[in-house]
């Protein structure tokens, strides 16, 4: 029973550290790509680890929605209801419909980092489970010397 509690505690601690490290990676990517107009996106990260009744962990990582649009390179268009020929259209876009002032360019601060960190979390959790499994088996073995020949 204590091994199960130790495993749950170790999983939760690892998940919290992983969330901290992942958010730090996101902020580092935003600084490198100069995504810090107001700093609101960097400050919008909220993270939480929730342990469910069946022993599973749920990680909650949230941030401002417009951060995804920056990652995809979309947005910064016209207001709602502005049509070709309106004053707002000509002021913001050229005759081909392209933005005059802002060029949309995907700045991948989120997608690559999340894919890498998710894979890394899976590796860390499987390593943790393997280590605990080995220690549990070692504790359950008799104290006598066991010789295995191949």
pLDDT for residue 54: 74
Task: Calculate the CA 54 to chain-centre distance.
Answer: 24
Kindly state whether residue 89 falls inside one of the protein's structural domains: no
pTM of the shown model: 0.67
Q: Which residue has the higher pLDDT, 141 or 51?
A: 51
Which helix (H) or strand (E) is 62 found in, with range? strand 57-62
Residue 4 has what pLDDT?
61
pLDDT above 70 covers what percent of the chain?
A: 66
**Which two structure tokens, joined as six digits, stand for 64?**
């401002």
The answer to whether residue 22 sits within a structural domain is yes
Q: Which helix (H) or strand (E) holds 27?
A: helix 2-32
Output the pLDDT for position 56: 78
What's the total number of domains in the chain? 1
69-110: pLDDT as tens digits: 888 877 656 555 666 777 666 667 777 766 666 666 788 888
pLDDT at 39: 83
- Structural domain includes residue 9: yes
Contacts of 72 (CB under 8 A, 6+ apart): 106
The pLDDT score that the predictor gives to residue 1 is 47
Indicate whether 49 belongs to any domain. yes
Residue 23: its pLDDT value, please?
92
Residue 27 in any domain: the answer is: yes
pLDDT digits (tens, 9 = 90+) for 36-64: 777 888 899 999 988 766 777 888 889 98
What average pLDDT does this structure show over 18-30?
A: 91
pLDDT band at 28 (very low <50, low <70, confident <90, very high): very high
Which residues neighbour 102 within 8 Å (Cβ) at sequence distance 6 or greater? Answer: 76
Residue at 102 is within a domain: no
- Tell whether 96 is covered by a domain: no
* Domain span holding position 20: 2-72+107-139
CB atoms within 10 A of CB 73: 13
Task: For residue 87, tell me if it sits in a domain.
Answer: no
**What percent of the chain has pLDDT above 90?**
10
């Amino acid at each position: 029973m204590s091994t199960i509690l130790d495993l749950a505690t170790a999983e939760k601690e690892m998940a919290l550290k992983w969330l901290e490290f992942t958010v730090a990676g996101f902020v580092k990517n935003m600084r490198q790509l100069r995504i810090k107009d107001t700093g609101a996106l960097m400050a919008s990260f909220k993270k939480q680890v929730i342990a469910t009744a069946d022993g599973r962990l749920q990680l909650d990582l949230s941030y401002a929605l417009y951060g995804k649009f920056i990652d995809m390179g979309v947005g910064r268009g016209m207001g709602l209801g502005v049509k070709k020929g309106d004053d707002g259209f000509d002021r913001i876009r050229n005759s081909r419909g392209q933005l005059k002032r802002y060029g949309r360019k995907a700045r991948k601060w989120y997608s690559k980092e999340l894919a890498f960190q998710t894979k890394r979390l899976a590796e860390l959790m499987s390593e943790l489970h393997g280590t605990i499994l080995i220690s549990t088996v070692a504790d359950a073995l008799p104290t006598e010397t066991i010789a295995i020949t191949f």
